[in-house]
Amino acid sequence: MAQVLAPYGVQGWIRIRSFSGAPDALLAYGHWWLRPKGADGWREVVRLGGRMHSGSVVALLEGVATREAVLALRGAEIGVPRAAMPPLERDEIYWADLVGLDVVNREGVALGQVVAVQEYGAHPVMRVAPGLGDARSERLIPFVAAHVDEVDVPARRIVVDWQADD
C-alpha cells in the first residue's frame, strides 16, 4: 500500500509514499505491516499517530522513536492485512493481485511476469520481468486502458498491447 520515504522531523515520524488513489486511506488502519527493503518477512507495527502533510502521509509508529530509526526503514514496504481491506467494486483490482501474473501481448508472445506495480505520477506502471533464461531486460508497461486489454486473475494472465521488442 505504501513505502517509507524518509524521516519527518527528529522524533521518529516517517514520511510515506502511498500507492493508493486516496493517500490518506492508510490512516484508517491502526496496525500496519512493514517489510524492510530486501527482506522476505513482514512484521506488525502499531501506528501511534498520523496525518496528511503537504500531500503525503506522515506517521509515528510504535518502537520507532528517532530519526536514525526511520533512516533504517527507508524503502520499507507498508501493507495491511487483506481481510482489513474494503471489498472491491466491479472492475476494480488490488495491485497486489497483479504481482505474479503472466503478461502476454495481443499476438500471444510471452513478455514475462509482473514483479511489482508502482505509481510514477501520471499512472501506475507494471514492472514485468522476463522468464528464467531470457536475456531481455525488465519492461515497464503502463497500467492504463490504452495498453492493458484484459486482466484475468483466475487464469493468472494479463493481455497487453505491447510489442515484444519494446
**CATH at 8:** 2.40.30.60
Contacts for 160-166: CB closer than 8 Å, 24+ residues apart: 160/103, 160/104, 160/105, 160/106, 160/111, 161/105, 161/106, 162/103, 162/105, 162/111, 163/105, 164/105, 164/107, 164/109, 164/111, 166/139
**Domain co-membership, 101 together with 79:** no
The tens digit of pLDDT for each residue in 99-138 reads 999 999 999 999 999 998 887 778 889 999 987 656 578 8
Question: Per the domain annotation, does 90 fall within a domain?
Answer: no
Please state, in angstroms and rounded to a whole number, the distance separating the CA atoms of residues 86 and 96: 14
Domain boundaries, position 143: 95-160
The tens digit of pLDDT for each residue in 42-79 reads 999 999 999 999 888 999 999 999 999 999 999 999 98
**Domain co-membership, 131 together with 73:** no
Q: Is 166 exposed, middle or buried (0-12, 13-18, 19+ CB in 10 A)?
A: exposed
Question: Per the domain annotation, does 89 fall within a domain?
Answer: no
Inter-residue contact 13 to 7 (CB < 8 Å): yes
Number of domains in the chain: 2
In a 3-state reduction of DSSP, which class is residue 2? strand
**Domain co-membership, 105 together with 149:** yes
Question: Per the domain annotation, does 31 fall within a domain?
Answer: yes
Q: Which of 83, 118, 152 is the last residue of a domain?
A: 83
Assign residue 135 the CATH number of its domain: 2.30.30.240
The pTM is what?
0.66
Question: Per the domain annotation, does 88 fall within a domain?
Answer: no
Q: Which of 62, 83, 104 is the last residue of a domain?
A: 83
Please state, in angstroms and rounded to a whole number, the distance separating the CA atoms of residues 35 and 38: 8
The tens digit of pLDDT for each residue in 2-29 reads 899 999 999 999 999 887 777 788 899 9
Question: Per the domain annotation, does 9 fall within a domain?
Answer: yes
Q: Which of 83, 112, 131 is the last residue of a domain?
A: 83
Question: Per the domain annotation, does 166 fall within a domain?
Answer: no
**Domain co-membership, 77 together with 110:** no
Inter-residue contact 32 to 3 (CB < 8 Å): no
Inter-residue contact 128 to 139 (CB < 8 Å): yes
